[in-house]
Amino acid sequence: MRRAFIAGNWKMNLTQSTATELTNGLVAKLDDNTSVDVAICPSFGFLSGVAAELASSHISLGAQNLYPAEAGAYTGELNAEMLLDLGCEYVILGHSERRHLPDIAESNGFINLKMKSAIAAGLKPILCVGELLDEREAGQTTAVVEEQLANSLADITTEQVDVVTIAYEPVWAIGTGKVATPDQAEAAHANIREWLRIRFNDLVADTTRIQYGGSVKPENARELLSQPNIDGALVGGAALSVDSFMGIIENA
């Protein structure tokens, strides 16, 4: 019922030439893929170059952030309209690195403004949520994730949430090689789905795609992605090579 969705978050990596090389490698391998939705999310500077390479492929383009304002005096920022103009379909919002890097420290309120501005412009947000290690150890995983969902999705209507993907990314599993067990991930995803059922309705709960993120690799993808409530993956490190990203897509 829900098509698998694998997104690569390239973070602040690569150069113009290695980004082009990686994109071309993926396009060549994914030429006839029609069963899994795939997106890649380069840093801002590489968006237009990657968009050109993706033009006639099945791979979608996403950005890693946006600034929620009309064009104007916001030095260094890009807004939703600019991302659309650059060819983006998706935008990652509320990533844990933006929530937790001390000099960035994005709040749920700010993420909510970004969600609204992405949806209003016609971008599809990938909203990241997830707990820190000490929050998990203190038994607060559900409370933390539900608070992030409630505040990041504040005022977003049942009609609007249609374009949203949720990515559950336990912060302790991101870039650490420590992957959540399939049972831990499935339990968190099932909770998110029930939260969507109560906040929105059955249709939203049953159709919203919930990706898992945090040290996903070809070796652990199959077991994670075969869980009933895991509909895809948001991939960091393993999205930086054609072979490992393809290995994950083939397991989806």
82: enclosing H helix or E strand = helix 80-85
Q: Which of 129, 213, 220, 242 binds ligand PGA (CB under 6 A)?
A: 213
Cα end-to-end span (Å), the chain: 14
Catalytic residue, candidates 53, 95, 131, 186: 95
Strand partners, 124: 90
Residue 169's closest CA among 34, 7, 15?
7
The amino acid at 134: D
95 annotated active-site? yes
Among residues 97, 106, 131, 169, which one is catalytic? 169
Q: Which one of residues 45, 109, 122, 175 is an interface residue with ligand PGA (CB under 6 A)?
A: 175
Rg of the chain over all Cα atoms, to the nearest angstrom = 17
Restricted to residues 8-67, the positions that interact with ligand PGA (CB under 6 A) are 9
Asked if 235 touches ligand PGA (CB under 6 A), the answer is yes
Task: Among 47, 66, 118, 174, indicate the residue that binds ligand PGA (CB under 6 A).
Answer: 174
Segment interacting with ligand PGA, rule: CB under 6 A, options 48-56, 116-124, 197-205, 236-244: 236-244
* CA-closest candidate to residue 173, choices 143, 135, 222, 139: 135
| Stretch binding ligand PGA (CB under 6 A), from 79-87, 103-111, 150-158, 169-177 | 169-177
Residue 168 backbone phi and psi in degrees, to 5 = -90, 115
Q: Which stretch binds ligand PGA (CB under 6 A): 77-85, 129-137, 192-200, 230-238?
A: 230-238
Out of 78, 83, 216, 246, the only residue in the binding site for ligand PGA (CB under 6 A) is 216
Nearest approach, Cβ of residue 234 and ligand PGA (Å): 4
Among 111, 118, 234, 246, binds ligand PGA (CB under 6 A): 234
58 catalytic per annotation: no
Question: Of 23, 38, 81, whose CA–CA distance to 235 is shortest?
Answer: 38
Instruction: Confirm or reject binding of residue 122 to ligand PGA (CB under 6 A).
Output: no
Q: Please answer whether residues 46 and 61 qualify as being in contact, where contact means their C-beta atoms are separated by less than 8 angstroms.
A: no
State in angstroms the smallest separation of the CB of 241 from ligand PGA.
12
Cβ-count burial of 62 within 10 angstroms (0-12 exposed, 13-18 middle, 19+ buried)? buried
Chain position carrying tokens 């609204």: 116
Binding site for ligand PGA (CB under 6 A): 9, 169, 174-175, 213-216, 234-238
List active site positions: 95, 169
